[in-house]
């Protein structure tokens, strides 16, 4: 694996008062080909066998007349993805505190997600910047990104303040790690871009780690002449000490027992 960094010094204050300078880690030739092909096939199999609707994207589950209802899609979602897991949707997560959540999270993931996916997480757990603070970062969410031909992802920032105990989301030590399963086709979009002007043109078996909670970014339209979807997946990582963890689900602002 080859690791390179891109760090900027000027934050963008036009849209976001608490924005911070862009920080990007780029990981090239991440895995040996044998493992990469297994990982890629596992992702394709999951997408082939499951809908790409946005359940778990916006907490769209509720009870009505004692019946649990899933709102699989609505206009505000404006994206197509499949959520592999989200630890914040687990009741046990809300029973953790900042001292226990790290061990609990990694133990849960070791037993409940695809072994290939777990090995992927372990690989990045042990490299910079996460390795610089051992036993601190948790990959709390994983979603598969599906960008169909002609579709794009509007400018946005990642995550939100409900996850964190910091004054605002932008103050949290959080990162978004995106891994690519295709090569970028020059002049046909599908690029990751930032308001500062930095553009990343994906390659397969490559990943980028960004402080996406601090910097607005988007993906321009996938105009690939093959009309194939742009395939990638993203994991959200956060420092355990910046997570909002009341230690008991009853201590949360909203009563969420109905979701379980």
Output the domain CATH number for residue 103.
2.60.120.620
**Upper half-sphere CA count for residue 158 (Cβ side, 13 Å):** 26
**Upper half-sphere CA count for residue 256 (Cβ side, 13 Å):** 17
Predicted pLDDT at 80? 58
Predicted pLDDT at 121? 98
Number of domains in the chain: 1
Low-confidence ranges of the chain (pLDDT < 50): 52-60, 62, 64, 69-79, 260
Query: What's the domain range around 128?
Result: 2-259
Predicted pLDDT at 62? 47
Q: Say if CB 138 and CB 13 are below 8 A apart.
A: no
Predicted pLDDT at 103? 98
Pairing, β 217-219 against β 206-210: unpaired
Sheet holding 23-28, edge to edge: 2-7, 23-28, 206-210, 174-180, 230-239, 137-147, 81-86
Predicted pLDDT at 257? 58
Predicted pLDDT at 39? 96
Over its C-alpha atoms, the chain yields an Rg (Å, rounded) of 18
Omega of the bond prior to 97 within 30 degrees of 0, cis? no
Query: How confident is the model over 43-76, as pLDDT tens digits?
Result: 988 877 755 444 444 444 545 456 554 444 444 4
Report which of 211, 76, 216, 212 is spatially closest to residue 155, judged by C-alpha positions.
216
């Amino acid at each position: 694996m080859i690791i390179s960094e891109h760090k900027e010094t000027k934050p963008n204050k036009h849209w976001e008062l608490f924005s911070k300078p862009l920080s990007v880690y780029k990981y090239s030739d991440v895995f040996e080909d044998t493992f990469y092909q297994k990982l890629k096939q596992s992702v394709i199999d999951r997408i082939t066998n499951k809908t790409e609707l946005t359940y778990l994207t916006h907490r769209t589950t509720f009870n009505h007349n004692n019946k649990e209802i899933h709102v699989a899609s609505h206009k505000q979602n404006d994206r197509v993805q499949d959520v592999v897991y989200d630890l914040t949707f687990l009741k046990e997560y809300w029973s953790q505190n900042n001292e226990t959540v790290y061990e609990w999270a990694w133990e849960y993931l070791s037993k409940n997600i695809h072994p290939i996916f777990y090995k992927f997480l372990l690989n990045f757990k042990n490299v910079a910047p996460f390795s610089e603070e051992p036993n601190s970062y948790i990959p709390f969410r994983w979603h598969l990104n599906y960008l169909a031909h002609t579709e794009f992802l509007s400018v946005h920032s990642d995550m939100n303040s409900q996850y964190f105990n910091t004054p605002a989301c932008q103050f949290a030590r959080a990162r978004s790690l995106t891994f690519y399963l295709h090569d970028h086709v020059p002049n046909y979009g599908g690029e990751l871009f930032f308001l500062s002007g930095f553009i990343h043109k994906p390659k397969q078996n490559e990943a980028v780690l960004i402080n996406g909670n601090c910097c607005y970014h988007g993906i321009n339209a996938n105009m690939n002449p093959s009309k194939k979807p742009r395939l990638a997946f993203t994991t959200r990582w956060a420092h355990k000490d910046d997570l909002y963890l009341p230690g008991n689900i009853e201590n949360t602002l909203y009563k969420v027992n109905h979701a379980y």
